Structure 1
């Protein structure tokens, strides 16, 4: 069993924490439902225009877990053109 995590730093089109909360909650809920992964806002909670989201899963194979997290990142980029992915990192343990 392998533990995989994905960190995605993104810029949001939001000037308030309330607007940011709506965007972040929407992304997290839809990713959880579609990909069955754990998801949280991991950093920059008090910054209206930026966030770091983290996704994690346990998978039987190293490549299977990595592929699923790559699909999560691609899905965010395709489904949410209003957010700009600045950086992303996949870790395996």
Structure 2
């Protein structure tokens, strides 16, 4: 059964505290989780207030479905991050059988 995993690196230039950072990360995770029925988790420690790494995973019986889903999730992550005053500095995904 194919599994898709994505890593999204966020940059939050306007974040001035851990609370600001946490609000952006939590909101992005919730919106992606509810919008796409995927697993989403923060992957790194809160080392700086201006960056975060988010991990995303999905399972399906169809590689084609997962490929389309990951493209949609990446687009949505960029859009949601921009709405929250952040930006996706990098994103990559892979399919594993």
TM-score after normalising by structure 1? 0.91
Contact 1:17 1:46 in 2 (8 A): no
Which 4+ residue blocks in structure 1 deviate beyond 3 angstroms?
A: none
**Structure 2 unaligned regions, length at least 5:** none
TM-score after normalising by structure 2? 0.88
1:24 corresponds in structure 2 to 25
Q: CA deviation at 1:44?
A: 4.4
Number of equivalences? 93
Aligned-partner SS, 1:15: coil
Q: CA deviation at 1:79?
A: 2.8
Residue by residue, what CA displacement relative to the aligned partner does 1:1-49 show, whole Å, maximum 9, x if unpaired? Answer: 1010010011013121111001100110111111000000112422110
1:11 corresponds in structure 2 to 11
CA RMSD across the alignment: 1.2
Partner Cα separation in structure 1 for residue 9 and residue 80 of structure 2: 16
Contact 2:81 2:88 in 1 (8 A): no
